[in-house]
Every structure is written in C-alpha cells, then in structure tokens.
Amino acid sequence: MSAINRLRELEREIVHLHDAAAVLGWDQQTYMPKGAAAGRAEQLATLSTLAHQKLTSDEFRSTLEEAEKESATLDPDSDDAALVRVTRRDFDKATKVPEELVTEESRLTALAHEVWVEARKKNDFGLFLPYLEKIVDLSLRKADHLGYEDHPYDALLDQFEPGAKTAEVKALFQSLREPLVGLLREIQATGIESSGIMTRSYPIEKQKEVTNDVVQRIGFDFETGRQDIAPHPFCTSFGNKDVRLTTRFDEHYLPGSLYASMHEAGHGMYEQGSPDEYEGTFLRGGASLGIHESQSRFWENQVGRSRAFTNYYLPRLKEFFPESLADVDEEAFYRAANEVKASLIRVEADEVTYPLHIMLRFEIETAMVERKVNLKELPELWNSKMEEYLGITPPSDADGVLQDVHWSGGMIGYFPTYLLGTLAAAQIWNAMQSELGGLEARIEAGEFQPILGWLRERVHRYGRKYLPNELLKRATGSELDSTHMMNYLRAKYSEIYGLSVTV
C-alpha cells in the first residue's frame, strides 16, 4: 500500500471521531436534556482527546513523511498532493497543542454552552463570566502554543481563516467603516419608516413548513440533510450525506426564520457539494469559514433578499400566510425585506448594518486577547460600541453581549470570517453574473440549479484543497476585493431609498 493511501486510512479514523463528536454537539444544541451537560462534556472530551492522539501519533507522523516523499513528484494541483499538503498543515498545528489542553478545551466549552444558554435566558452575564474568563485564558495559552509573529489573535484567527492576519483584517475593516456608516446615515436621513410587514403574525407551525419548502427549492437535499430548531441557528455535518441545519422562530418576525434558513442552507449545500472522494479525509468540507460564509450570505442576501426572489416566492408565502400578506404586493415585500434599521441582533441585521456588528465584535475580541478590557466590563464595552457604531444601546445583556453562542464554544477569532464571507459573496455574485448572465431572470423563474451548479463547479468541488484566497481567485479571477460589496450595497439601497449612486 502506498503511503498516501495509508495516510487516507489513518485520516478516516480521525475524521470519524470528529464526526461522532459533531453528532453529540448537534444533539446538545437541539434535543439533549439539560441535565446531561456534565456527561456530554466528558464524552466530547474523550472523543477530542482520542482524535488528537491519533493525529499526533508517531505512526501518523512517519506515514505523513513517507507520503510527502511520494507526493514530491506529483502535480502540485493533484488531489493526492493537496491531501498531503493540507494534512501537513493540520498536523503541524495539532502537534503544537498539548493533549491536556485539547481535553480541557472540549470539556470546558461543552459545559460553557449550557451555562451560556441559561445566562441568556436569565439575562445574567455574571452567570457566564467565570466560564468566559477560563475560555479567554485557554485561548491565549493555545495561541502561545500555536505561535504567532505579530499578534496572539493571529493564531486564533488562522484556525478559522488560514493565512489571515489581524493587521490586514483591521485595515480592511477600517477602510469599510466610514463608507458603511455614511451609507447608513444617508438612509436614516430619508426618514422612511418601517412598513411593519415583517412583524405581523406568522404562525410558527406555518413558518416551519415555509423554511423546509424554501431551502428545498433552492437546492438543499433533504435526502442527505434535515432541519431542526436551536437557540442560535447553525449548520453542521457528519459527511456530505448527513448535513444538519437549524433555525429559530418568532411569530412576529418572519425574516428570523426565512432568511436564517436560507443562510444555513448555503452552508449546508456547500457541505453536500463536497466530493465523495474527499469523504473520510482532511480535504472534506470548506476551504475556510470565510468561504463557507460566502455561500450562506450569497443565498441569504444576493438571492433571498433580491427583488427577483421576492417576485418568485411571495405568491407561495401568501398561500402559507393569507391573512398577514393579503394586502402586500411584491414591491412592498421587497422593500420590507430590505429595510435598513440599526438593530440589536446580528443575525437579524440588514445588509448595511451587518458589517458594523462584525467590526465591533472584532474590536472587542482583540481587546480581550490583548488584556485591554476587564471581562467584567464587557457588557458596558459592548453597549458603548453599539452606540458608537449603530446609535442604539441594548436594553439587556441577552440582546447585547450574550446574544452570540461563539465565545461559549471557545471560538475566539471566528467573527471576522462573517464579514470576509460577506465581501466574498458579492464578488462571487459578480463573477457568476459575468459568466452565466441573467441571474435575476433565473431566480424569478425559480431556476436555481444553474446557480448552484456554478457554485458546485467553482467552489464546492474543491473542498479544502486550496487556501481561501487562492480558491476565491480561481472562482472569480481575483483575491478578495471589498469594492464588490460596497458597489452592490450602494446600488441596491440607493434605488430603494432614492440616494445618490456614487460610491
């Protein structure tokens, strides 16, 4: 047996352990009884430790070294060469982190998730604070083990967006802040108020039917996936034939489920599009969380909040909600779906204010990592930045510092990928429009397969084979370019609100 094939065998065991842990994690956020938290923490810690032991073993190391010798004569663009390259990157990271730290992190974050759920329900940041303090300490220890040149946040960010640097992200976000805030202020100055369409009564049982219907129409395959309910919408997968979406419902806020489900379906279709031959290997999945987010934001916004999609799907929505939508035409619904208003909750934010939510989280996380903020004072810091960026102050910690699940999962360094993905989504839309043309007409006709097919060919089929910027360049012709998003937002919202179209 060749060393590369042996490497595949060893990776399969590790991937299956991670899949088993992911099943337990999905269950914890959907169906697990509250009293099972301590036992679940131990189960997850065991699986994470076993996976780490296998990845850092002498057998794995020697097999990887032999595989590298074999791959030296291969085409660097071949799957075998890519497998060895990606495995080396993962192995080097894993061997830098002590086993006991892996075990501690898995146990701590499993417990912290349940405490976060309770703290948010009770609006009690103090309940979550001791766990957050431990998670920040652990993250900094992890960053020290992983190593970095300029900033400890680099090591944490690299886990989610390989190759990204804190300084580059900071400069990019700073360049976007002024034009975004300027666009928001122009929209606010129009004085156009909310129509209230989205906050009418939309019975939850009917919303459940809608979200299943809409994700299936755009291409999510229920033969290899399902959708459930969670406190914070997410997508996870245990292979390309077992992908799980979650969403949440509010009777008086239709976008909270409709667009959340389209968003998570974007993630899900990416996972379903991972090649069969990558299953059980480290090539399976997405290039990065930023690229993953480009898929979810693309379906949520470029497709879901388009006028074409409104024209296509509103008649169907009226069948589900005849009383609430009887007096609503396509133009009114389109404008309601794209109302710009500073709001408290990130996942419910409009396209203009959403990037500002990410920027403030990035600033808070870097301050946490730099030890420039006392974690007890996070609610006050959060609220002050909400006022600075969006002009509003959260009335409670549940709608403020406690609203996101990420810190309870130890995912410090994750937030920037949401905006990086949003930028990439606009870039991908433009590239697709240039190549396919007539995207709006396709959407209005309910023809989503050519759109999904383009994404399958240009993004999904490569799995983790390429680093994010390399993959984006292959798909669109250039590395990440923020002008696509700003041009998109300026054109779209100038038309809706009657503004100047100059960027």
Q: Is 264 a catalytic residue?
A: yes
Residue 72 sits at φ, ψ, to 5 deg, of -60, -25
Q: Find all residues with CB under 8 Å of 257, minimum gap 6, and list them.
A: 207, 208, 210, 211, 247, 248, 249, 250
Residue 418 sits at φ, ψ, to 5 deg, of -65, -40
Q: CA nearest 428: which of 292, 262, 335?
A: 292
Q: CA nearest 115: which of 139, 141, 135?
A: 135
Q: CA nearest 403: which of 136, 116, 137, 129?
A: 116
Residues forming a β-bridge with 227: 245
Q: Is 236 helix (H, G, I), strand (E, B) or coil?
A: strand
Q: What share of the chain is helix, strand, coil (3-state, %, to 5)?
A: 70, 5, 30
Q: Find all residues with CB under 8 Å of 70, minimum gap 6, and list them.
A: 2, 3, 4, 80, 84
Q: What is the 3-state secondary structure (H, E, C) of 111-142?
A: HHHHHHHHHHHHCCHHHHHHHHHHHHHHHHHH
- And the tokens for 397? 């910690």
Strand 225-229 to strand 243-247: parallel, antiparallel, or no bridges (unpaired)? parallel
Q: CA nearest 249: which of 227, 267, 265?
A: 227
Distance of CA 488 to the CA centre of its chain: 21
Catalytic residue (one of 186, 264, 271, 293): 264
Phi-psi region of 367 (alpha: psi -120 to 50; beta: other; left: phi over 0): alpha
- And the tokens for 87? 């495995």
Measured distance CA(206)–CA(140) in Å, rounded: 45
Q: Is 228 helix (H, G, I), strand (E, B) or coil?
A: strand
Measured distance CA(23)–CA(21) in Å, rounded: 5
Residues catalogued as catalytic: 264
